[in-house]
Amino acid sequence: MALVTTAEVCDANPQLILSGELRALQPVFQIYGRRQVFSGPIVTLKVFEDNVLVREFLEEKGNGRVLVVDGGGSLRCAILGGNPVVQAQNNGWAGIIVNGCIRDVDEINGCDIGVRALASHPMKANKKGMGEKHVPINIAGTRISDGEWLYADTDGILISRTELAV
């Protein structure tokens, strides 16, 4: 998607926006990581102040996928840190969206992966392994389902029911 911006996708697809097949997330996320432009099929995860399942996903081969984590919008601790992001980069994940906080920002900013999160926080998460995998989630004003496609650049984040011909 390096040649087509999210703004151009929106301009070229008003019918998909009207039908709800193409949605833009509310602009609440900070940009981290070296890869500012990324896209891929979505894997969803719902957790709250617990990062065990986040780490488990990122230990798998990413195959160009994007992990979208609904962390409940918590600003009390980080559910993603530098080590899992390095693993995600090495395992071929395209990006990670966190509706919550991250930490180890300098380390994450050195990684060739796209990361979006609400903020950074120095405190670590719980390690109980609680959460739900592959479930529909609601973040930044948008319902997101496993298997949909995500397109991110410096203008914003789009969610599409299917892969776009960009």
Which segments are annotated as binding site for Mg(2+)? 104
Give yes or no for a contact between 39 and 142, defined as CB atoms under 8 angstroms apart: no
CA distances from 48 to 9, 22, 41, 120, 161 (A): 33, 27, 23, 16, 26
Annotated binding site: 81-84, 103-104
Annotated binding site for substrate: 81-84, 103
Q: Phi and psi for 48 in degrees, rounded to 5? A: -140, 110
**Residue 51 per-residue DSSP state:** -
The SS3 assignment for 75 reads coil
Give yes or no for a contact between 150 and 166, defined as CB atoms under 8 angstroms apart: no
Count, in order, helices (H) and strands (E) of the chain. 5, 12
Distance of CA 69 to the CA centre of its chain: 6
